[in-house]
Amino acid sequence: MMSKISAGLERAFAARGFAEPSVEDLRDAAGVSLRTLYKYAPSRADMVLAALENRHQRYLSHVFDGLPDDAEEATDTILARVGIWMATETSHGCLFHAAVAADPGSDPLHRLLERHKAEVATKASAATGLAAAETDLLVIIEGLTQAWPLHGDAAIDAAQRLGRALRVSLA
């Protein structure tokens, strides 16, 4: 039940932001009664966290599952998948950053943002064989996320060039 609720909440917040959807809108997006929604997510803050946890798992799966074994090909694939995510899931930037911007005093949101970005960096460095370059890879991925709304596929191409240049610089 919680996965259904979380998925619905994620869709609602991704489409309408964190301030606009009413509780009734969130209930409808989750496809449950108000009582059930509050049973699983007793506050709006809990609803946001549930939505972002769902988003976190979906993003990691989308970007990192079934990558090629070749490290250079894996780098290009990761960055292409980030671009696909931007095109299909959110063209407005990172939902985690948007959540923190909407509630900057929330420690749980800050911790979730930090965990999400750390896991992305760790998985990227492991998949690409660039163990010493977690921060570098995260900067490339974050740059792609921010540049994609303005530059689309050109941002993917640029990120892939940067990924290849990073590999050469560390060789």
Phi-psi category of residue 152: left, alpha or beta, with phi > 0 → left and psi -120 to 50 → alpha? left
Q: Which amino acid is at 170?
A: L
**CB 48 within 8 Å of CB 27:** no
CATH of the domain at 161: 1.10.357.10
State both tokens at 144: 């792609």
Q: By C-alpha distance, which of 71, 64, 65 is closest to 130?
A: 71
State both tokens at 33: 């009664």
Q: How far apart are CA 145 and CA 49, in angstroms?
A: 21
Residue ranges making up the domain that contains 25: 2-170
- The answer to whether residue 91 scores a pLDDT higher than 70 is no
What confidence tens digit (pLDDT) does each residue in 139-166 have? 999 999 999 999 999 999 999 999 999 9
Phi-psi category of residue 68: left, alpha or beta, with phi > 0 → left and psi -120 to 50 → alpha? beta
pLDDT band per the 50, 70, 90 thresholds, residue 22: very high
Q: How far apart are CA 67 and CA 77, in angstroms?
A: 7
pLDDT at residue 85, as a whole number? 94
Number of domains in the chain: 1
What confidence tens digit (pLDDT) does each residue in 121-139 have? 999 999 999 998 999 999 9
- The answer to whether residue 93 scores a pLDDT higher than 80 is no
pTM: 0.92
- The answer to whether residue 49 scores a pLDDT higher than 90 is yes
pLDDT band per the 50, 70, 90 thresholds, residue 89: confident
End-to-end CA, the chain: 48
What's 20's DSSP letter?
S
Q: Which residues contact 134 (CB under 8 A, 6 or more apart)?
A: 121, 122, 124, 125
